[in-house]
Amino acid sequence: MAVDITEISRLFIVFVPQIFMVVLFSFLIFKILKRNTNRNSLTLSGFYLTVSLSLAMNGIVVLLSFFSPGEYIEIIYLILNFLVIFSFVFVIVFILGILKLKYVFTVKKALVIILAYGIVWLIMLLYPGGISHPESPENWAPVYSPPLYIAANILFTVSFTIPVVYYSIRLRKLFKDSGLKKKLSLFLIGIMMLTIIIYGAFLYNTWQDPTFKTVWSLSITVLLISSGLLIYYGIGRDL
């Protein structure tokens, strides 16, 4: 099989950073759980774990599409898209845990929110005609229809962005010590970066502009690594 140098470059640009992020996030999970295995630690680890799984699957997709494109890639893409979005529910549950609402916000209620969040987003991604896949083997990434793009943005804003902004304000009021506030600021900046990542990913899967896709592919690596480290060094390592 003749190998195009452009394809090799794309493989390197996409695959190598993915593997690096999987190793990094797995290390952060180890550090968090080694320090403590309380409810907040497990919740934050759940976020890093789901993101790591989606990154690992994306790396697999890149390899499969490079050597042997096939319809099964669509299924893998659906799963990894779901995992990326699903991971954000752990951030909401984690913030509620930090607010020390565990007596009101019980484990049962947390599981209900996680389950409901997952079901709603799965229905969204499985909606007929929402996601299509180009017939060209070179273009194996999914394409969101305009209605799905709009609906996904609205749902994410309602289910994540608005709650996070609201609870972040409450967290700011809860933290009195200047040192703790500085750590909280790092944590919240990391969350903001994650929000940008999702909105950018929705646009990436909808707007088929080569220049934007190239710039975003490089930007998302920096954003994801930065957000993961900021969340960990902001609050995660002190759990």
Can you give the pLDDT at residue 102?
54
Can you give the pLDDT at residue 95?
87
Phi/psi of residue 132, each to 5°?
Answer: -120, 165
Tell me which of 139 and 72 has the higher pLDDT: 72
Can you give the pLDDT at residue 14?
63
DSSP string covering the chain: ----HHHHHHHHHHHHHHHHHHHHHHHHHHHHHHH--SHHHHHHHHHHHHHHHHHHHHHHHHHHHHH---THHHHHHHHHHHHHHHTHHHHHHHHHHHTT-TTTS-HHHHHHHHHHHHHHHHHHHHSTTSEE--SSTT--S-EE-HHHHHHHHHHHIIIIIHHHHHHHHHHHHH--SHHHHHHHHHHHHHHHHHHHHHHHHHHHTT---HHHHHHHHHHHHHHHHHHHHHHHHHTGGG-
Residue 68 has pLDDT above 70, yes or no: no
Can you give the pLDDT at residue 9?
54
**From 1.20.1070.10, 2.40.50.320, 1.10.760.10, 3.40.50.300, which CATH number describes the 5-238 domain?**
1.20.1070.10
60-64, 80-84, 98-102 — which one is most confidently predicted on average?
A: 80-84
Residue 2 has pLDDT above 50, yes or no: no
pLDDT, tens digit (0-9, with 9 covering 90-100), for 207-219 = 888 888 878 877 8
State the residue for tokens 């180890």: 30
Can you give the pLDDT at residue 228?
87
In this prediction the pTM is 0.85
Can you give the pLDDT at residue 171?
81
pLDDT, tens digit (0-9, with 9 covering 90-100), for 105-164 = 778 888 999 999 999 999 998 888 778 766 555 556 678 889 999 999 999 999 999 998
Tell me which of 100 and 181 has the higher pLDDT: 181
Can you give the pLDDT at residue 13?
58
Q: What is the mean pLDDT of the chain?
A: 81
Residue 3 has pLDDT above 70, yes or no: no
Residue 85 has pLDDT above 80, yes or no: yes
Residue 8 has pLDDT above 70, yes or no: no
- Name the pLDDT band for 4 (thresholds 50, 70, 90): very low
